[in-house]
Amino acid sequence: MNKIGIYYAFWTHDWDADFVPFVSKVKGLGFDILEVNSGTVTRMPNHERDRLKKAAEEADIELTFCIGLPHQYDVASEDVSIRRNGIEFLKKQAQMLQYMGARELGGIIYSSWPASLPENADRRPYLDRSVESMKEVIKTVEDCGVLFNVEVVNRFEQFIMNTAAEGVEYVERVGSSHCKLLLDTFHMNIEEDSFEDAVVLAGDNLGHLHIGETNRRAPGRGRIPWTEIASALRRIGYQGSVVMEPFLMPGGEVGRDIGVFRDLKGDLDLDEEAQRALHFMRDVLDGNGAAS
Ligand SMILES: [Mn+2]
């Protein structure tokens, strides 16, 4: 059975937050996982990390980590000093995961976010530099016994990989079982010809899954073909985490960076909505026909 989680920023306007209160919140709602921002935890002093780790252990909530690297840490940059800073930052994140007793980190960890290709530039040199940087980072990731999942995102947010096929090519070039793919249904909806084919193509390289509707509502409110996705996940024997990343509220850093410019929340109670989506996904992943 897949563990199901939710990203804390469903409830926040800022990326930096105290994650401890979210541990008991998601536990109370019935989730297995709380996904948090790894940049924040990497910058935390150890006594704050200890507080978060203890809260998660006591609640039996797994912490997973996510980040879109800021431009000063772009490991695909033409500027060697920016690449070096990014490589060192990612190594620190691997060490943070090990310290936290956590298993995995995902996101745009292969370049920066958001980013577009400069006019008339060739994508390949960025890809090549990214692979070289990740090959160095992944040695530390292996030493720490953790997993880095590169997130395939849509063309409006990144240019290095937009499809599962490009993601598979990337992780095969990195060539470590500690580097896998993160697919996200929101991005897949824009770029993939077929959800099923993309999941099957990812196969054993799929390390983590983000879920959300086409407009980033919580699962079960829109047009994403959940039964098709769940059946593809069963076909590849996917045992990894399934983490929802809904964003309903405009405003703050989160609203700005995610592009939430209208109120998608309306009269919804956020906790009830998260719990509804959790039950919906449990049903879908269990293969129950009730969800379509
Ligand atoms: Mn995502």
At 80-127, the pLDDT tens digits run 999 999 999 999 999 999 999 999 999 999 999 999 999 999 999 999
Residue 209, in any domain of the structure: yes
Give the C-alpha distances (Å, rounded to integers) separating 270 from 27, 154, 283: 15, 26, 20
Q: What is the pLDDT of residues 33-55, one digit of tens each?
A: 999 999 999 999 999 999 999 99
| CA distances, 14 to each of 128, 154, 178, 277 (Å) | 33, 23, 30, 23
- Residue 39 CA to ligand 1 centre (angstroms): 16
**Max Cα-Cα span within the chain:** 53
Kindly give the distance from the C-alpha atom of residue 94 to the centroid of ligand 1, in angstroms, as a whole number: 19
Q: Tell me the angle at which helices 195-202 and 226-235 cross, rounded to the nearest 10 degrees.
A: 20
Give the whole-angstrom CA distance, residue 291 versus residue 126. 41
Q: 275 with 268: CB under 8 angstroms?
A: no
In the reported structure, the alpha carbon of residue 7 is separated from the centroid of ligand 1 by a whole-number distance in angstroms of 9
At residue 289, the pLDDT reads 56
Q: How far is the CA of 184 from the centre of ligand 1 (A)?
A: 5
What is the distance in A from the centroid of ligand 1 to the CA of 89? 20
Q: Give CA separation, 180 vs 47, 127, 157, 264, in Å.
A: 31, 16, 20, 32
271 pLDDT above the threshold of 80: yes
Cβ neighbours of residue 198 closer than 8 Å, sequence gap 6 or more:
163, 164, 165, 183, 188, 192
Q: Pull the structure tokens for residue 269.
A: 């109670």
134 lies in some domain = yes
Residue 292, pLDDT above cutoff 50: no
Print the domain residue range for 267.
4-285
Q: Which residues have CB atoms below 5 A from the ion given as ligand 1?
A: 184, 210, 245
Instruction: Assess if residue 226 is contained within a domain.
Output: yes
> Which CA distances in Å does 83 have to 74, 95, 142, 149, 207?
6, 19, 20, 19, 25
Tell me whether residue 137 is in a domain.
yes
CATH of residue 206:
3.20.20.150
Q: Is 290 within a domain?
A: no
Assigned token pair, 189? 């909806």
Whether the link from the prior residue into 114 is cis, omega within 30° of 0, is yes
- Residue 128 belongs to a domain: yes
Residues with a known catalytic role: 151, 245
What is the number of structural domains in the chain?
1
**pLDDT above 70: percentage of residues in the chain:** 99
Inter-residue contact 215 to 222 (CB < 8 Å)? yes
If one counts every other C-beta atom within 10 angstroms of the C-beta of residue 16, the result is: 11
Distance (Å, rounded) from C-alpha 187 to C-alpha 258? 12
* H helices, E strands: number in the chain: 11, 8
User: Is 281 among the domain residues?
Assistant: yes
CA of 235 to the centre of ligand 1 (A): 22
Cα-to-centroid distance, 158 and ligand 1 (Å) = 12
Mean pLDDT on 188-202: 98
